[in-house]
Chains A and B, each alone.
Chain A
Amino acid sequence: MSEVEMMTPGEVFKAEVLEKYPPKLAKKRGRQIVVNEAAGGEVPEILANSRTAPGILTMRGCSYAGCKGVVLGPTRDVLQITHGPIGCGFYSWLTRRNQTKPHTAEAVNFMPYAMSTDLQEDEIIFGGEKKLKAAIDEAIALFHPKAIGIFSTCPVGLIGDDVHAVAREMEAKYPDVNIFGFSCEGYKGVSQSAGHHVANNKVFTDVVGLDDTPKQGKFRFNILGEYNIGGDAFEIERIVGKCGMTLHSTFSGNSTYEEFISAHTVDLNTVMCHRSINYLAEMMEKKYGIPWFKINFIGADSTAKSLRKIAEFFGDGELTKRTEEAIAEEMEKVEAVRKEIYERCKGKKAMLFVGGSRAHHYQDLLGEIGIETIAAGYEFAHRDDYEGRKVLPSIVVDADSRNIEELTVTADEKRYQPRISEAEKAKREKEGFAFSDYDGMMKQMKDKTLVIDDLNHYETEKLIEMYKPDLVCAGIKEKYVVQKQGVPMKQLHSYDYQGPYAGFEGAINFYKEIDRIVNSNAFRLAKAPWADSPELSASYGYTG
């Protein structure tokens, strides 16, 4: 048997792809394309969070997008000013569809507004701080916000505008307005991920902890890393409420400033998108003593599991009972739909290449209707998102990450209060309850499946050619590249403007949507009936 024949399809793919690259790039990509093997719970090492090669058609964006677009974007009452030329602000204007629901028709909602200093050449030459100050004056006069976030773009960093100094100066001028700046210039780091970090740091130092008034309600907790795409957070809040718990704040979907400043009053932080926000969970634990653990509300089973874990944390008999009742009631509805759709979808194959956690979470949901994920990867993850947090100490910090501030956090003198004693925590951990942990995506994926970091266009095309998947999930830039090939593609960044997909209702929505996609007649029409048949030689015209 030749060597090629003994290789798994994943290995064949990898070999073929790498052959096309110049040696240096091939070496690097070789470490970013991994055939999964979870032998004895140990997964192979993957290279992640490293630079994208110039000229490669990449899926990635920039840190500004991660900071302004992802983390801060969904907060409706923080007025957000992009400091820079017009484009950056324009593109992050409503395109991430962070839904938000103010409580009244008059309540503050700045989300439909895109604000920018629209820097012109003079300001690039002589500095833009003066214009930024004037813009803040105008914004306050027009909108009277409680808080203003200033977001730096690439040129602003280069000309040396100090957005933090401007923020301080303007705050002194307007003591009632909390003004803070983000150094989230697009060239920082290697992807959106840098921006998440920058955003978390600032939210932690300048926002969280300003107000000690807790929300009314029992069993209060936060969800970090849930951005309310397609109304996911609405559905999660509904379920949580049904169980008798109180969702204090969502960072940052359907969120408000008030919820942020008092977020430290809860007893528990749960983390949905590990990548974008683990920083905040860590820092809040150190400063306030709030424990955290990873949850996942994507997929009905995962939702049930997460609810149970939260209830278990609070350890209240009545809560556990209500939670079980709610799960049972919801699951009945879910099961009815799932069974039917399972029959039509089982055995199909999917590929998922999305920003952060979604490439992991959605595998559960697809699995519920019998769809197997044969390849997956992240746009901007770090090794811990793939291999689990246990590799954190062994992650090498490179130059691109080093320029993002790492905060030193200590316990707050007044507010630090461990929600659970060390002894109790240790006891629970011994019983198998995981705090501050994340196993990563690879451990859950089957052996021999492909795990690819920072997938590019060339590899996408190859993957589709080789594997002919029934479904690909990625973002807008990839969508039509995939669909032109007659393969349906579901956007998991924006949900193709549908949703919610979180929670139980979300699971039902998703099953139905995937059923529509993989069984749609429309895609079968891509090829004309004559496309594959050879030229006909006979003529059927009248000859006589």
Chain B
Amino acid sequence: MLLRHTPETLVERSALTVNPAKTCQPVGAMYAALGIHKCMPHSHGSQGCCAYHRSALTRHYKDPIMATTSSFTEGASVFGGQANILEAFANIFNLYDPDIVAVHTTCLSETIGDDLPQIINKAITENKIPPGKTVIAASTPSFKGSHITGYSNMVSAMIKYFARNTGKKNGCVNLIPTFIEPSDMAEIKHIAESMGAKYIMFPDTSDVVNGPMDGKFRMYPKGGATKEEIASSGDSILTIGLGRTGTLEPAKLLDTHCKVPAEIIDLPIGITATDEFVDLIRKTAGVSVPEEILLERGQLVDVLCDMNQYTYGKKASLVGDPDILVGLVRLCREAGMEILHVVSGTKAGPKFERKIKELAGEKTIVKTGAQADMFYFHQLVKNDKPDLILGNTYCKYIARDMDIPLVRTGFPIYDRVGHSYFPIVGYRGGLRLLEKILDALMDRIDRDASEEKVELVM
């Protein structure tokens, strides 16, 4: 029993977080910044934060994650980090030659109160930033929000620094995805592309953190949204935010900043959520849904119906990031599953709770925020045991102790591969997710069946 000290009895806690179901802002900001072409993420604080964030992303993506740090020591912590970041700019541009440096703060620089926009302005006026190069900054203190907030803040910074309304519409729809896998970003592009819609997507980490191995290291892989694309997003006809928690703020900002109206929809996981996305693109771009997409949709529905008996009535408990959770709940419900628990360390507000209850029913226990941690999640699961857990790698301890199948979803996934290459969004992603759920449930049946009950065909 790895989690032998987790009691069944639930006790209210107000101060202690145990086994968090969230992590800190900068890791999300760093990930978002990797979705800009030729961009070096930079962490303003002591080097430990940066080391942790790079390690976490590296373990999850199993790919190089490059990011620099201001390397504060005690002096910078007392006198402020201006000297450090100016020195950092010189070294970064000299050694790594990025087009863009995307700075995010840490708890440390936030607590000191370093004013980054002002420091950057100073650097510009003093010619410390080479011509043609850009520095953008996002404030990402981790004593507010989570990695999702950090992601959202960095996407907002992209808009603030780059997006411009030139007065001439470009006929594009902006796609802003929430914190999802590079494979998911690629799948969203695939849908927009096969529908023939003109689009701008940012950030876009596909081909950046799931790069090929061909004997060459590239500091800046070919993927990522370009500065020009992000600039042009101010001239688009509509912004579609995919996943409310991660995209509401940036989408709103683009509206106030450049007058591009925004629609926030659920992350397209499952059939109906993907339908909504496809339909919105269809209407906005004035295109019809092509055969290819219909085929993908049909295949997912086909498997869903064919295999319904294995998912129907099965109970699932979910822990993770709010936007992904909404999508997962939608797919699970489409498969006829019951949702027992939905937990997220990221505070998602009453709208989220209402949404989950609408989808899953009033009985589902939903909790987000500070004490919504995996310790609490485990206690819930002990009190009402599900057939399946959906959550990140850390769930394996719970799954093992309680002998419940686990389908790894969300961040981080340290102990399996596939998430960087195969999506869970869109119809094709739905098919993969469904396959994973079925594998888990059916392996269970196979393993638990008495000898006379083992079925060859299922």
Whether A58 lies near B94 (C-beta < 8 A) is: no
Could you list some 24 contacts between A and B, CB below 8 A? A22-B91, A54-B68, A54-B70, A54-B84, A55-B87, A56-B71, A59-B51, A87-B23, A89-B20, A91-B52, A109-B4, A114-B18, A116-B16, A131-B15, A135-B16, A138-B11, A139-B16, A187-B72, A188-B73, A457-B66, A477-B58, A483-B213, A484-B218, A531-B215
Whether A113 lies near B19 (C-beta < 8 A) is: yes
**Least CB separation from A82: chain B residue:** B17
Taking CB atoms, residues of chain A closer than 8 Å to B438 are none
Given known contacts A94-B394, A109-B4, A154-B49, what 15 new A-B pairs fall within 8 Å (CB)?
A22-B91, A57-B68, A63-B48, A89-B20, A91-B56, A112-B2, A138-B13, A139-B16, A142-B18, A154-B111, A186-B49, A476-B55, A476-B58, A486-B213, A526-B214
Report if B381 contacts A (CB, 8 A). no
Expressed in whole angstroms, the Cα–Cα distance for A116 and B46 within the complex equals: 20
Given A95-B59, A113-B18, A158-B77, A55–B397 Cβ distance below 8 Å?
Answer: no
Contact of B143 among A22, A123, A479, A480 (CB under 8 A): A123
> Total contacts A to B, CB within 8 angstroms?
267
Taking CB atoms, residues of chain B closer than 8 Å to A62 are 46-49, 51
8 A Cβ contacts from A7-56 to B: 20-22, 25, 51-56
Whether A124 lies near B76 (C-beta < 8 A) is: no
Report if B88 contacts A (CB, 8 A). yes
8 A Cβ contacts from B115-148 to A: 141-144, 146
Taking CB atoms, residues of chain B closer than 8 Å to A414 are none
Whether A54 lies near B77 (C-beta < 8 A) is: no
Expressed in whole angstroms, the Cα–Cα distance for A116 and B17 within the complex equals: 5
Expressed in whole angstroms, the Cα–Cα distance for A313 and B63 within the complex equals: 48
Bits for A455-483, please: 1 = Cβ < 8 Å to B, else 0: 00110010000000000000111011111
Whether B46 lies near A186 (C-beta < 8 A) is: yes
Expressed in whole angstroms, the Cα–Cα distance for A248 and B432 within the complex equals: 51
Whether B59 lies near A476 (C-beta < 8 A) is: yes
Whether B111 lies near A124 (C-beta < 8 A) is: yes
Expressed in whole angstroms, the Cα–Cα distance for A63 and B48 within the complex equals: 8
Expressed in whole angstroms, the Cα–Cα distance for A528 and B213 within the complex equals: 10
Taking CB atoms, residues of chain B closer than 8 Å to A86 are 17, 20, 22-24, 142, 146, 345
Taking CB atoms, residues of chain B closer than 8 Å to A108 are 5
Expressed in whole angstroms, the Cα–Cα distance for A81 and B13 within the complex equals: 15
**Least CB separation from A465: chain B residue:** B217
Taking CB atoms, residues of chain A closer than 8 Å to B92 are 55
Contact of B49 among A20, A87, A137, A475 (CB under 8 A): A87
Whether B47 lies near A142 (C-beta < 8 A) is: no
Whether B16 lies near A81 (C-beta < 8 A) is: yes
A465–chain B nearest beta-carbon distance, Å: 10
Report if B405 contacts A (CB, 8 A). no
Report if B386 contacts A (CB, 8 A). no
Whether B211 lies near A484 (C-beta < 8 A) is: yes
Expressed in whole angstroms, the Cα–Cα distance for A31 and B199 within the complex equals: 52
Whether B108 lies near A54 (C-beta < 8 A) is: no
**Least CB separation from A478: chain B residue:** B64
8 A Cβ contacts from A473-513 to B: 475-477, 479-486
**Least CB separation from A528: chain B residue:** B214
Expressed in whole angstroms, the Cα–Cα distance for A134 and B11 within the complex equals: 14
Taking CB atoms, residues of chain B closer than 8 Å to A165 are none
Report if A439 contacts B (CB, 8 A). no
Taking CB atoms, residues of chain B closer than 8 Å to A109 are 2, 4-5
Whether A117 lies near B95 (C-beta < 8 A) is: no
B347–chain A nearest beta-carbon distance, Å: 10
Expressed in whole angstroms, the Cα–Cα distance for A284 and B95 within the complex equals: 46
Report if B69 contacts A (CB, 8 A). yes
Whether A105 lies near B216 (C-beta < 8 A) is: no
Report if A115 contacts B (CB, 8 A). yes
Whether A61 lies near B68 (C-beta < 8 A) is: no
Whether B68 lies near A55 (C-beta < 8 A) is: yes
Expressed in whole angstroms, the Cα–Cα distance for A189 and B71 within the complex equals: 11
Report if A155 contacts B (CB, 8 A). yes
Bits for A114-132, please: 1 = Cβ < 8 Å to B, else 0: 1111111101100000011
B138–chain A nearest beta-carbon distance, Å: 15
Report if A190 contacts B (CB, 8 A). yes
**Least CB separation from A184: chain B residue:** B48
Contact of B73 among A105, A119, A134, A400 (CB under 8 A): A400
Report if B377 contacts A (CB, 8 A). no
Contact of A124 among B56, B66, B143, B214 (CB under 8 A): B143
Contact of B52 among A87, A132, A189 (CB under 8 A): A87
